[in-house]
Amino acid sequence: MAIISRGFRGRPRPAGNRLPPGQYETRDFPVLSAGPTPRIDLASWSFDIKTEAGVEHTWTWQQLTALPTEEPVVDLHCVTKWSKFETRWRGVSLDVLMEDVETAAEYALVRAYGGYTTNLPLEDLLDGKAWVAYRYDGDDLAPQHGGPARLLVPHLYLWKSAKWVRGIDLLLKDEPGFWETAGYNNYGDPWREQRYWGD
């Protein structure tokens, strides 16, 4: 007999509690990467969104940084159990980038310079939930933290916020990315401790 009913999602988050279960707060910004740090020349940098029909929308660095920006202040939660509160960013909302993109896709595969990929439901990139961020704490985003630009999806574990982002493929079916194929959870909700596939 099951101890927990199917569909049980855990207790509601206590009001004012910003630290997900199993996490600890840090004031540092630890650097974790699976490989070498790419160094991307801004003159050749680009970001694209490719639809499931093969339509491509592309922005150069100048075009991206000319778009309307937002300055989200968000908490970050890493799967390695550290959380950093009130991080300050500047970037372009995915809502702005998706304005003229026609798609029936429900999934996204995010691509990064260096070959890294990660997958998300498309709805987790929209409605003010995600940005292509290129400034952190008032300065240009440093390469070790994903500069010149990274995806920022703060409501999921930080591996979903791909460093050195270069594009997004919109998909009709989900396609696991780098860490997901290595055993990390397909979704990565820190409040449900979705660290690995069985979580």
62-66, long-range: CB within 8 Å, 24+ apart, which pairs?
A: 64/92, 64/132, 64/134, 64/149, 65/134
What span, in angstroms and rounded, lies between the C-alpha atoms of 197 and 113?
Answer: 25
- The pair phi, psi for residue 178, each rounded to 5°, is -60, -60
What span, in angstroms and rounded, lies between the C-alpha atoms of 124 and 108?
Answer: 9
CATH class of 47-192: alpha beta
- 3 has a pLDDT exceeding 80: no
Q: What is the pLDDT of residue 34?
A: 65
**What pTM, to 2 d.p., does this model score?**
0.88
Average of pLDDT values for 58-82?
Answer: 97
